[in-house]
Structure 1
C-alpha cells in the first residue's frame, strides 16, 4: 500500500526540516519524507554526505535544500532557521542532530571542552532552534516540532554525565514546550530512543541491548509524528526501565548505576566517524 503523506497540526503539508540529515536516523527520515512527497530542508555538518542524501531524496521528485552548519554555533543556527523559514515556511522541524561521548576508564572526569560541546549540540542549540520554530509556527497557527533525545535522559550515568545531562535537559525543555504550545495549534514530540546502529553508537564498546536499525527508528518516529504523540520511547523495554528508575530508592539506584561500565573508541576510529551529523 502506498504511504500517505504525514500531516502536521491543522493538516498542513509544508516543508520538512531535518537536522543531522547527513547520516543515521536523520538520513532515513529524509528518505521517508521524500517518499511521502514532502519538500525537504536538510541540515548537516558534512556537506558531502549531506548532498548524497539530498540526491537520493530528489530522485523521489521533491525539492531539497541543504545547509552545512556546525550546531556548536547556536546563534548561527537561530539565524539560519529564520532565514530558511522566511524563504519557505517550515511546518515540520525535526531536530535530530546529536553528539555522544563519555569518559574513558583512564579518565577521572570528562573533559570540560567535551561537556561544553555536548551541552551545545544536544541541548542548547536544539532548544533554541525549537524556540525559533515555535515563534514562526504560532504566528501561522500550525506546525510540529520534534526533538530527538535519548533514554540516557532517564538515568544518571556516571561515565557519561555530559551526554545524559544534556539529554535530560532536552527532555524537560520538550515537556515544557509541549504544554506551552498546545493551545496555539503547534505540536511537540520528544523521541527517546535506545541504542540505534549509527556511527555514534558504534563507538560504544559494550553490551547494546535491543539495537535498532536507523530505518526502523525512523519509521517509529514518523508514526509518532503522524499520531501527534507527545513522547515516544523505544524499544518498549526502556519504558519499563524508566518506570523502575522512578520507584527504586536513590541509594539502591546509585549503587546499580555505579556498577555500570562502558568504553568507547576515539572519534574517527569506528565505522563512520561517530561525530555529529
Structure 2
C-alpha cells in the first residue's frame, strides 16, 4: 500500500506505543518529515519503539504515563500540542481483563481502572484535541474500540461495556467534527497477535498479525474512514447477535470458556 507524501512536518501522538498495535503503528508511520510522540507505561519498551522509529528517519519524543490519571494526561497533551500541533491522535492504549476463575464478576478495583484507561481518559483526550483541531480546521483522531463492544460478554462485562461506550462516543464525535474537517475513526478489531491477546487461553478466531492490523488501521485513519471493523466475519457475528432474542444470545455467550494469564506473566502495553 502506498503512503501519502507529506509536504510538512507531521506530528503523530500514539498512546499505548510501548508494545502491540501502538508500537506497530509507530513503526508504520515512522519516516523523515514525521515527528512521533509516543506514550506508554513502560519507559524501557517505549525507548525500544522509539529507537526503531528513529532508524527510519522520524524524530521521536517518549513519555511514560499512567492513563488512570486523566488530569495528568490532559496536561501532558496540552503541553505537547502547544509545542507542536498534533495532526493525528491515535488513542491505542487499552486494558483487557476478564472475570477471574470462579468469581461472579470482575473486581470493583479492576472495573474502575479499566474504565479510566478504556473510556474516561481517551474520551477526555479526544475531546480536548477535537476542540484544538476544529479551531485549526484539520486533524485525525483514532480511537481503539473492539468487536467485544458488540456483544454482552459475561466473562468481560467491564471490557465490553467500556469499549461499547467508547464506540458510541467516537461516532458521536465524528458527527460533531465532520463540518470542521476533523476526521474521527473508530477502530473495532477482533483478535490481534499482541501481548494483550497472548494472555488468553482459549479460541481466538481469525487472529490477525500485528503488522497487518497496523497497515489496515493506518489506511483507515489516512482515508478519514469513520468506522473500521475487522476481520469482516465480526460484522456477521454482530448482526447475528442482534437478530437473536437476548435470552438466547446470553445463554450462548455464557458458555464461552476463556482463561487469562496474569499481566505480569505476559507483559502489556
Question: TM bucket by the smaller chain?
Answer: over 0.9
Q: Report the CA distance between 1:266 and its aligned residue.
A: 1.4
Structure 2 match to 1:5 = 4
Q: Report the CA distance between 1:62 and its aligned residue.
A: 1.6
1:1-277 superposed matches below 5 A: 3-5=2-4, 14-35=10-31, 37-270=33-266, 273=267, 275=268, 277=269
Q: Report the CA distance between 1:35 and its aligned residue.
A: 3.5
Q: Contact (CA 8 Å) 2:145, 2:189: kept in 1 or not?
A: yes
Q: Report the CA distance between 1:179 and its aligned residue.
A: 0.3
Give the CA RMSD over aligned residues: 1.6
C-alpha deviations, 1:115-147, integer Å up to 9, x for none? 001100001101110001101101101001000
Distance 2:52 2:242 in 1: 43
Q: Report the CA distance between 1:214 and its aligned residue.
A: 1.1
The 3-state SS of whatever aligns with 1:83 is helix
Q: Contact (CA 8 Å) 1:37, 1:60: kept in 2 or not?
A: no
The 3-state SS of whatever aligns with 1:182 is helix
Q: Contact (CA 8 Å) 2:17, 2:23: kept in 1 or not?
A: yes
The 3-state SS of whatever aligns with 1:226 is helix
Q: Report the CA distance between 1:6 and its aligned residue.
A: 6.7
Distance 1:254 1:108 in 2: 15
Q: Report the CA distance between 1:260 and its aligned residue.
A: 1.5
The 3-state SS of whatever aligns with 1:269 is helix
Higher-RCO chain (CA-CA 8 Å, sequence separation at least 6): 1
Distance 1:97 1:129 in 2: 12
Unaligned runs of 5+ in 1: none
C-alpha deviations, 1:25-64, integer Å up to 9, x for none? 1111001100474221111110111011111111112211
Distance 1:98 1:118 in 2: 8
TM-score (ref. length: structure 2): 0.96
Distance 2:104 2:196 in 1: 22
Q: Contact (CA 8 Å) 2:39, 2:62: kept in 1 or not?
A: yes
In the comparison of the two structures, how many residue pairs are matched?
Answer: 269
TM-score (ref. length: structure 1): 0.93
Distance 2:64 2:164 in 1: 27
Q: Report the CA distance between 1:5 and its aligned residue.
A: 3.1
Distance 2:5 2:142 in 1: 14
Unaligned runs of 5+ in 2: none
Structure 1 residues 107, 37: closer, same or farther in 2, change over 3 A? same
Which stretches of structure 1, 4 residues or more, deviate above 4 A after TM superposition? none
The 3-state SS of whatever aligns with 1:90 is coil
